[in-house]
Amino acid sequence: MTAQELLDTLSSRFGSAILESKLDVNQPWIKIDGNRAREICLFLRNEPSTRFDYLMCLSGVDYNDGTLGVVYHCSSMEHKHKIVLKAICSKDNPHCQSVSAVWGTANWHEREAFDMFGIIFDGHPDLRRILLPDDWEGHPLRKDYKVQEFYRGIRVPY
């Protein structure tokens, strides 16, 4: 299935949840509504013609314009096609639906995105920090991150 066909399928089914797309680049991407990520991903996984059963990567991004993004790199083992999905949320209210029920692997990736960017994944079974200590302040990969002065009495900036 080509990216154009995929985009048509998605827009006819989800309409308003498909926001934007760019298909003429090396890795075509489709921007989706983060609050409907779960149903879109579930559709993509279960639909026989798309069958995106393998989530390669899920990354958080800070676009530095007041928005945060979640990028899903999906691929299909059966059809050997790939697609990139991007979901956008605002920095003030960073909410996005969790897809960990669709792909088990998203569980830890989402925890990492929460840890590093503070994106809250609604419906995630166990949203805790994963790499940083539980009592760390702030989300380090945000572009406006200021490191805390002290962590448990240890001076952090060097």
Minimal distance in Å, beta carbon 3 to another protein? 15
Nearer to another protein, 11 or 105 (CB): 105
Which residues contact another protein (rule: CB under 8 A)?
25-27, 38-39, 42, 53-57, 59-62, 71, 73, 77, 80, 84, 101-105, 107-109, 116, 129-133, 140-141
Nearer to another protein, 96 or 102 (CB): 102
Task: List helix spans (H) across 65-148.
Answer: 106-117
Minimal distance in Å, beta carbon 106 to another protein? 9
Minimal distance in Å, beta carbon 4 to another protein? 20
Task: List helix spans (H) across 15-157.
Answer: 37-46, 106-117
**Alpha-carbon Rg of the chain, whole angstroms?**
17
User: Which residues have CB under 8 Å from 156's CB, separation 6+?
Assistant: 147, 148, 149, 150
- Residue matched to tokens 């060097």: 158
Are 63 and 142 a contacting pair, CB within 8 Å? no
Nearer to another protein, 9 or 28 (CB): 28
Nearer to another protein, 133 or 153 (CB): 133
